[in-house]
Chains A and B, each alone.
Chain A
Amino acid sequence: MGAVVAGAAAAARITWREARVVELIDETPSARTLVLDVPDWPGHDAGQHLDVRLTAEDGYVAERSYSIASAPEDARVALTIERIDDGEVSPYLAGDVVVGDAFEVRGPIGGHFTWRVGDGGPVLLVAGGSGLVPLMAMLRHRAQARSTVDARLLVSARHVEDLLYREELEALAADPSLSITYTLTRGAPERWKGFTRRVDMDMLQTVGPDAVAMPRAFVCGPTPFVEAVADALVSLGHTAAAIHTERFGPTGS
């Protein structure tokens, strides 16, 4: 927490810009990536998010925040949006939008849940469901920068078909300094090699790195998931200040 505004966007005001959809990628049955052309995008740090503003014909406006999936090095800004069935904005973005459509965005936002290769490591990234999105930006950034910082990614999802970016992650895992571990909490296919339970202390210990290595931890996912993982990391001896969290959704209580 040094500078008044962290990251590449220090000087740029956070103003609304028109984003045009140039590509759509269906990631899972419920998640879709929107690749956006945003003229004069000021740049971002991996882990930051942006605000989307939609305007209906009757003037009604809806704003939401979404994590950025693309690396700072990418020319285009990518969002991966999980459709929430009774949601107001995500069914539109993850379902109705077609290439060529435009809406407003502003950002980047958030100077806390960010990682740059220069920050060093090791890093421990723990994702629940679509909480993988900002962590993917970090891994894409790490790959683009050809960093060999020790990085561990643990992804928890309900079913194997809910796993985001699987092929790309498989390719990234050719790098021996990156380890990727999956766990499926609602059943696994035959010959599944990953874990099949909720993230717990044993699993985090297996994934590592150990608390004595003082990793920077980034945990993102639904609130109960993040609460449980962050508590487990504290119990394992990780420093609270080194555990960065981003929660979404209701509390579940």
Chain B
Amino acid sequence: MPLSRGFHGRPRRPEVDPSRVPPGQYVTNDFPVLSAGPTPRTPLDQWSFTVQGAVDGGAKTWTWEELNALPQETFTVDIHCVTKWSKLGTTWTGVSVDTLLEDVATTAEYVSVYADGGYTTNVPLEDLMDGKAWVAHTFEGEPLEPAHGGPARLVVPHLYFWKSAKWVRGLDLTIDDEPGFWELAGYHNYGDPWREQRYWSD
């Protein structure tokens, strides 16, 4: 790798544990916003969350009140955006995807996550199960702001954060893998930050 003449970088921050920072990422205390279009604003009385697609017995839908009546989990995770920033120790509250899939029987192996604004992103079903993903509505104790995906976004912290769809409205369980919005626009199909899977050819 060629050296960059005269580049020293920022003094290494002793408070940052390097083992928590994936390759090519830097740690920020900000919470940058990346979205492809305007921020949608669905009133809570018109909001719902649906699990549909290859589901035996048909789709299941929760209203905002019903989602909030489900068991809630508060969890602290590191998040990694493909645009290079990582944010360590973020605390969220929401419903585990395990809870939403509890009574769902399916032969699907993939999920097309869909959201207000037409956004979709694809994730293998197993990556959303066993405590790896949540539908979160609260960030650091406050209702999640619309710019950050409120009223609710998916949080899948072990993948690049574009997989954590903002303004999430449902999971479409699919037999085949169906690349979503950024996956069709040149980004990696799976998006593991630890393997630096940013773009389609990584």
Contact = CB atoms under 8 A, between A and B. Distances in A.
Contact of B4 (A54, A111, A223): A54
B12 to A, nearest CB: 7
Interface stretch (A165-173, A187-195, A206-214, A227-235): A227-235
A201 interface: no
Q: How would you classify the secondary structure of chain A's contact residues: helix, strand, loop or mixed?
A: mixed
Interface in B20-67: 23-26, 30-40
B186 A245 contact: no
Contacts of B148: 251
A78 B12 CA distance: 30
Contacts of A223: 32-33, 147
Q: How large is the interface on B (under 10, 10 to 19, 20 to 34, 35 or more residues)?
A: 35 or more
Nearest to A2: B184
A110 B37 contact: no
B195 interface: no
Nearest to B38: A230
A214 to B, nearest CB: 15
B181 interface: yes
A234 B24 contact: no
A14 B32 contact: no
Contacts of B141: none
Interface string A38-75: 00000000000001011111001111110000000000
Interface stretch (A98-106, A129-137, A142-150): A98-106
Contacts of B4: 54-56, 92, 101-103
B38 A55 contact: no
Contacts of B202: 14
B185 interface: yes
The 4 tightest CB contacts between A and B, nearest first, are: A250-B30, A111-B185, A230-B38, A13-B201
Given A57-B8, A88-B10, A249-B32, 7 more contacts: A1-B184, A4-B200, A56-B7, A60-B8, A63-B84, A102-B4, A243-B38
21 contacts: A1-B184, A14-B199, A14-B201, A53-B24, A55-B1, A55-B4, A96-B6, A101-B5, A101-B6, A102-B2, A103-B7, A112-B36, A112-B181, A223-B32, A227-B33, A233-B38, A244-B37, A245-B37, A249-B30, A251-B31, A251-B147
